[in-house]
Structure 1
């Protein structure tokens, strides 16, 4: 049995950033990690994946990219190495141990049970991210058993799928990247398109992330964007590098575009007649963002004229598709993720999210970092943790001198 002030769970970017801030504040703590630092990037990402944010956006508390390619894009393995170097720079107290249970202990604060030991802590910070399980539509269970079904956590590359055609469901960043990779490998690919966001990779001589940073888009808070739709907007259709990857590019490469997946019966998949409306909605949102960029004053040197972005021209999608006749043997569900914390006993999880405000849950002493839209639009980005850890660690420091009453385990 160990006693310590704070336990941080997870040694990804959010957990290590929290550890850095706790170290700077003089708070005794430990970081519990089931695997390697950055484990999810090493074991739950496809082989060709690169970050969608350029290297200069990998800013963490007391740490930033100092390599030769600030405008490049790290692979998943390179990011894990980057996080390992960050943790080593301040001797982060990482203990490689899987958490099995977190419960409120009325005497000590929390009891954290791992596969190696038990920790008693006054405070716990859950920093395991929000992409634990892939969201799979209910209709997936109605597909024939002979059709291989994969999600992005289990897809590693074209070698993962059957040798014939593939249906990819979901047209945000993950779906379009997987569809492009499979098409380039020679597979017949059908892409089911739902609500999505489109922006060019580069605009007026700069990476789009640079423009969004200048606009302050990632700093907009839940108070400024209260609508649920705005807070759950899909990730951008982007790929690392300088090339655009959108529906127009995929269509030109031979990918068939259909509407939103509605369900299945055996070897038949059904789609909504909404392809054109989703494309039009994405175009309108993109044009609003580009107009804001065009209204900015000149930003240093480089091209200043607006660049034409081609509209996506698509035919109406089919209402149904016989996967057997089309020789489609695999469906890849690129339909999003949600969090899962089965080991977390305090009742703070709802609909795949930890209910919190600026990292603080309703249970005194229980915090989280790295949630999607935790407080800012960019909270779940590597770059966003540096803001949210300030809120959490400031509260930890305050709570050490002004403790609040604990909520018993099982209380609302």
Structure 2
């Protein structure tokens, strides 16, 4: 007979641990199944110079918060890893490491969970494996010569680990922009294909923009009430950095310093990379988003009567004289192409009818149409902070309340 547990939590990152803490506090029997080790993604899937882009004071988990000496700073990768591991040490969650879940199937009285170490039957399941599962690259990447090293951003560790030569970074979301900066600061020759990601200023009118937006209640607005509604879940994150105490990422400044910028990479053949003529439009659109955020902060300061220093607006320091739409990789001495174009979900192991046509979970604040099946830790699960430390505790508490109600109903049946 399979082992029976009231609740199975899949994933022992910050989301799974937050869920476990709430279940421990409520006395609900559960087990947390982790294919690797607790918080391993922080150690294994970030580059050496990675830092958080949200300030340390936003690092809050149930019964636990950042208590270090730099609340306005940004923890580097290894410190985040230790912080999350330290959280697990505060309440001894029932985690089983090296236990990969291979299938979850709804059953008449709960769920059948298949693992590499044996079956588990449970009443309820919380899927806390994040939303970034399989790194994606375009199909035309297959046409790049074997002499060119290709990496996804999830595999990048440092400039020194790459072959000598120039690097083409494709994509300017948070990872792409920060990795391009990392390579640039290391003295590498960088070519950057810019996408449509927006940007945000690190500081404005004397404070971190995150602090202003927190006070404005921006991070508490449910996704349904955001412009675009649920489609917001597909938006690319604003690029900014917490490195060296935090600063803007200004692609135009990089160009002045020698980085080569292009529009969206569209194709590769015959040794040449081809780019859409979208660079100037992308840079202007990113600046417009940053200015729009500043406009909202200005309005908040004015209506609240806050005494804050006045700051001059950003003026573009560089514009492309012309759009370069193709380059020869060999002529540019490009020996590495680093793809930062996103991930796709992979829930093939979850055999429940809770997905849309693109394979994304359908849910309301993590609650699905299948009784007892929940998601936690996804970007914009409920608010901006759902995929970050900022709101995981709140989201986990909401689901824990739902789990407790169903557990009582099941026990009374």
The equivalent residue for 1:368 is 375
Deviates more, 1:33-42 or 1:348-357: 348-357
Aligned equivalents of 2:312, 2:63: Cα separation in 1: 37
Cα pair 1:203 1:306 within 8 Å, conserved: yes
Q: Once the 2 structures are TM-superposed, how far is the Cα of residue 403 of structure 1 from its aligned partner?
A: 4.9
SS at match of 1:296: helix
Confirm whether residue 187 of structure 1 aligns to residue 193 of structure 2: no
Q: Deviations over 1:274-302 (max 9, x none)?
A: 11111222222221110111122378998
TM-score (norm 2): 0.92
- Map 1:181-330 → 2, pairs under 5 A: 181-225=182-226, 227=228, 230-240=232-242, 241-297=245-301, 303-311=308-316, 313-315=318-320, 316-330=322-336
Q: CA RMSD in A?
A: 2.1
Does structure 1 retain, via aligned residues, the 8 Å contact 2:149–2:336? yes
Measure, in 2, the Cα distance between the counterparts of 1:401 and 1:135: 42
- 2:340 equivalent in structure 1: 334
Residue in 2 that maps onto 1:347: 353
Give me the whole-angstrom Cα distance separating, in 1, the residues matched to 2:227 and 2:238. Answer: 20
Describe the superposition over 1:113-140 as per-residue Cα deviations: whole angstroms up to 9, x where unpaired. 2222321110110101112222222322
Is the CA contact 1:99–1:343 (under 8 Å) kept in the aligned structure 2? no
- The corresponding residue for 2:392 is 385
Deviations 1:34-82 (A, max 9, x none): 2221111111111111111111110112211111111121122211211
**Pair 19,100 (structure 1): closer, same or farther in 2 beyond 3 Å:** closer
Question: Is contact 2:265-2:273 (8 Å) kept?
Answer: yes
Q: Matched residues in 2 for 1:162 and 1:306: separation?
A: 43
| Mean CA deviation greater in 25-34 or 304-313 | 304-313
Structure-2 residue corresponding to 1:407: none
3-state SS of 2:75 partner: coil
TM-score by length of 1: 0.92
Higher helix share: 2
**1:149 to partner: Cα distance:** 1.0
**Corresponding position of 2:179:** 178
Cα offset for 1:143? 2.0
Which of 27-36 and 395-404 deviates more?
A: 395-404
* Partner Cα distance (2:106, 2:192) in 1: 49
Kindly indicate whether the alpha-carbon contact (under 8 Å) linking 2:273 and 2:327 is maintained by their aligned counterparts in 1: yes
Q: Structure 1 stretches of 5 or more lacking a match?
A: 405-412
Which blocks of at least 5 consecutive residues in structure 2 are unaligned? none
Matched positions, count: 404
- Give the alignment partner of residue 401 of structure 1, picking from 389, 395, 408: 408
Shift of 1:229: 5.4
